Amino acid sequence: MVKFLDLELEMFGIDVSDSAVKVLKLKKKRKFFEVDFLDEVEIEPGIVDAGVIKNEDALAKIIRKSIISKVAGKLKTKYAVVALPEEKSFLDVIQMPMMKEEELQSAVLFQAENYIPMSLDQVYLDFQIVDYNEKKHDHLDVLIVAMPKTTVDSYLSCFKKVGLVPVVLEVESQAIARALVKNESSSVPLILINYGKKNSNIIIFSGQSIKFTSSIPISSSQITEAIAKGLSVSLEEAEKIKVNFSLFKKDESEESKKIYNAIYPVLNDLIFQIKKYLIFYKDHASHDHSLNGKDVALNISQLENDKENVEDNKATNSIGDIFNFNGQEKIIITGGGSNLKGLAEFISKEISIETEIGNVFSNLVLKNNNLIREEKKSSFCTAIGLALRAVNNKKYD
């Protein structure tokens, strides 16, 4: 059992992805926040792959570089809040009978074996009670998070080489939700989509916690690659074209048609992935909770191979109608890929659910927010969530 202590330490957030290390430290001044330290260093391909550290020494060198910024100087604390890769994590909300807190740990350990698709001796496990209300429910809702020991240990080893101390380790989706969900609470279902450069994930949030999360095999780099292939240009030129292109701009030029036709299959796959997981969650949720974890991989695989099921839902009902959310649900997109102009409108049109670009400053008023360039704000979503955890120095609750 891993329990992370809330110590009175000066901490910062550090987000390690396949493509970059992002470091952010906030300073709280009364009702405002200021950026105290900010840096981003790109990671060469192959050093981190799908969240797995392939070359510890090379990553340690990049992390060391990221905490000594040419602009901000040297980071003055060694204590960090670290994001663990979504691809390797397991997160679920389970139901437990009402019981005393001292009895809960052994009970959760016993029940966790039914939900986690790995042996308990192979994972680090943490849990906490969410949305406790004795009058509302006759049970406890408990958020459990598990991560393979091999994955966690490689991150700890890498940070140790740099001289950093990870005080808090949390799954990426928790940091994303903290950054995007106002007051970390929502009375209506929120579908958070982190559309990243190398990988993406979908998070379903309602009440005061995440209810479901999963990685999806879609990335914004696929858009760039599709443009490069469709227009026979370099990846560098394709990236410039992507930045200037808008999905909903009235442009009938041949080049615009070529761009749209090139990227449409990628966008269509994104829509399919969103629908697939929403339908899956709807079919297996229990009073707004998710499926027994051991069955997730099998059921998702079956739905992946049954595109007709997803398309039939599209033909007969909107996803909003299927969920019977009464039009109150919302999709919020973030990550570097959310900068594609018109993407929110495209998703909204295809799925019939209100969609917007996420406000990564939902839970803070930042005095010097100009330090994070406008086009970079969404890609710093995870780092902002981690930095908030660090500066508030409290658990995700």
Q: What is the pLDDT of residues 347-389, one digit of tens each?
A: 999 999 999 999 999 999 888 777 788 889 999 999 999 999 9
pLDDT at 252: 76
Percent of the chain residues past pLDDT 70, beyond the cut: 82
Which residues is 332 bridged to in the sheet?
192, 356
CATH of 7-87+147-181+362-397 among 3.60.15.10, 3.40.50.720, 3.90.340.10, 3.30.420.40: 3.30.420.40
Q: Which letter, b or e, does each residue of 54-82 get, where b requires 16 or more Cβ atoms within 10 Å of its Cβ? A: ebbebbbebbeebbebeebeebebbebbb
Q: Which tokens belong to 51? A: 């969240």
Q: Which letter, b or e, does each residue of 39-51 get, where b requires 16 or more Cβ atoms within 10 Å of its Cβ? A: bbbebeeebbeeb
Q: What is the pLDDT of residues 28-73, one digit of tens each?
A: 888 889 999 999 999 999 999 999 999 999 999 999 999 986 665 7
| DSSP secondary structure of 189-219 | EEEEEEE-SS-EEEEEEEETEEEEEEEES--
What is the maximum span of the chain, computed from C-alpha positions, in angstroms? Answer: 67
pLDDT at 109: 87
Q: What is the pLDDT of residues 93-130, one digit of tens each?
A: 888 888 887 888 889 988 888 888 889 999 999 988 87
pLDDT greater than 70 at residue 289: no
Residues 164 and 345: their CA atoms lie apart, in Å, by: 42
Mean local confidence (pLDDT), 265-290: 79
Same fold, 7-87+147-181+362-397 and 183-359: yes
For residue 299, the surrounding DSSP H or E stretch is: helix 296-304
Q: Are 139 and 51 in contact (CB under 8 A)?
A: no
Which residues is 232 bridged to in the sheet?
none
Average pLDDT taken over every residue of the chain? 84
Count of beta carbons in the 10 Å neighbourhood of residue 235? 12
Mean local confidence (pLDDT), 275-279: 89
pLDDT greater than 60 at residue 149: yes
Mean local confidence (pLDDT), 214-233: 94
pLDDT at 395: 41
Which residues is 32 bridged to in the sheet?
29
Topology of domain 183-359 in CATH is: Nucleotidyltransferase; domain 5 (3.30.420)
Mean local confidence (pLDDT), 321-335: 73
Residues 362 and 79: their CA atoms lie apart, in Å, by: 25
Domain locations along the chain = 7-87+147-181+362-397, 183-359
Count of beta carbons in the 10 Å neighbourhood of residue 339? 19
Decide: pTM greater than 0.95: no
The number of C-alpha atoms within 13 Å of 355 and in the hemisphere containing its C-beta is 21
Mean local confidence (pLDDT), 319-327: 52
Q: Which tokens belong to 244? A: 């200037």
